[in-house]
Structure 1
């Protein structure tokens, strides 16, 4: 006759000490307590289904789950086993029920999938969910969302003049439902049923500012009423050829004014590769003035809101541009990079060096063996481009851009 387990008591449980290897102590009816080498204690339920030993199910940690609560859970699962039903499937069904609505599941998806992604990516995803997805679909059961619901949501977004946001929303929902399918929470992906091109097309922008327009934009910047640091930020964006977030989130520790270099770490770059910016004379003068304006902040462009030391938001520069009285049509900040590339190519500078200055990947053998990364050529390019921008600004009488000694 098999030996009967002695029921556990709280006193006995508290006396259990960790050992070199984890070990299990039985209660009754398949309930056992596993003592880990760290000292933590975990309730598990061991059972057979249709005469076959099954992997132990985890109930939870002691003392968060008391002895009495663990026994109640054991009894619930034992009742299922007695009827020939799987307690493991019951656990999975409970998880599905807990993550039933789009809103609740979206929170779980964000918590598991967004950590480790870039800050700009996380911000974009959260904004799309908060502004469009959750107000429209959040209260629906996850499995009840149909392609027609996603299409209606995308049509609503397009109706306000944002077709690309509509396409991005469809893509976010597709990724979210792929995640749900992989975990057995739903069987189909309503967003995947929608062909992307029927929502919107990812048209690449081709806007390049002419020489005249470069001068018009920059003169409008300095003639405006926006704060001086934002004027310097827009000027730096034009002459350094970096992306907006790479500038707004920059810290003084990345910049060596004496050496004339700015090293942007990989985690802040789009391609997850570190990037060095060679600072032109104009860029260094802008940074010297900015240093005095930023005070003791770690950031080049500290936020004026709140007491915490943090950078301005990525939308701040967009708002500054919208405040300008520009005669330049269809201009966005990212056009600075394309404009620089186009004019530098027309000046006859090497394409590979220009691509490196823009932090673009060079494919093929040149990219593999490019150890020096065209350092001297890039220094020359950055100074030539800053001089070019300055020449366009000087095409008309404007207030001095740099303080005179």
Structure 2
């Protein structure tokens, strides 16, 4: 009899495949495996090897963790790659004899890294990031003029993608080093929008240290230094800074500052399409997700605001997976506080479906799952299974 994990994995592959409107034969061709292999895996009669799982995930345009939601496979791959990421940036300001990769080729590779970050595909980022960081540094040190400015942009973007992995998986020291590398590269670009994006990401270090008041000060200085929102890129960059400032002000329990910055973010968001992108996606829907984040961060007395947003709006399917799952995780926290554990569990399951590894590594998701399980200890086996998966028991 197929094991539950094999059966669940097969069902998940089939669900994702159907969502992509692919036949089993089309998936087999795209993954370079036999049709018999796909059929056996989907019905739970066979467990894919690591290479086969990677091939299927690539063919479906998902991270392997989206398929193997109950394993530590992605965790181990990420943690194994951390030393290589650290080594790649250890002497970032010292030129080497490495021959730089052609900029168009590097540009394309870094663009793929960005898409993986938006899709919370951390295993892929972790394994590819060391080489791309080396290549971006070589390009920066061995080019001049416009090419050097371009290389600096690519280095900043690559560092941000690598930081997404380090930060989410608890490597805070490495995350701080990658943020500093991103800020250094942004200064080399001579682009104030790139510098604003670096300031946005730098907030992670303040979140990690719980230095919320200091983080708010840093963000307000970055807002003052950011370019006037006279075009789409500049408006998106400034709006993102205001969103981040609203959240960290809420964490500092400064409701007035949170309201001020959220209001500015709304104003800028309404002037832009949702897909405005200047290092982070910005637009009206993104601002809505931050309304929930601000309300939850301000504490239980503001939770009704989060519940009200969720009653009338949910993130669209084309929003980046990490941001969608973040919305559901924070909503779950509000639902726990409101005495709605069943709703909280449903929100956590949605978050896991959208971005498994982001959900699994999120401390608030783990906390909410533990609370729900405690409140409903005698409830369905699926709740215990979820709590075990996320590390809440």
Q: By the TM > 0.5 criterion, same fold?
A: no
* Larger helix fraction of residues: 2
Structure-2-length-normalised TM-score: 0.23
Structure-1-length-normalised TM-score: 0.22
Report the structure number with the largest CA radius of gyration.
1
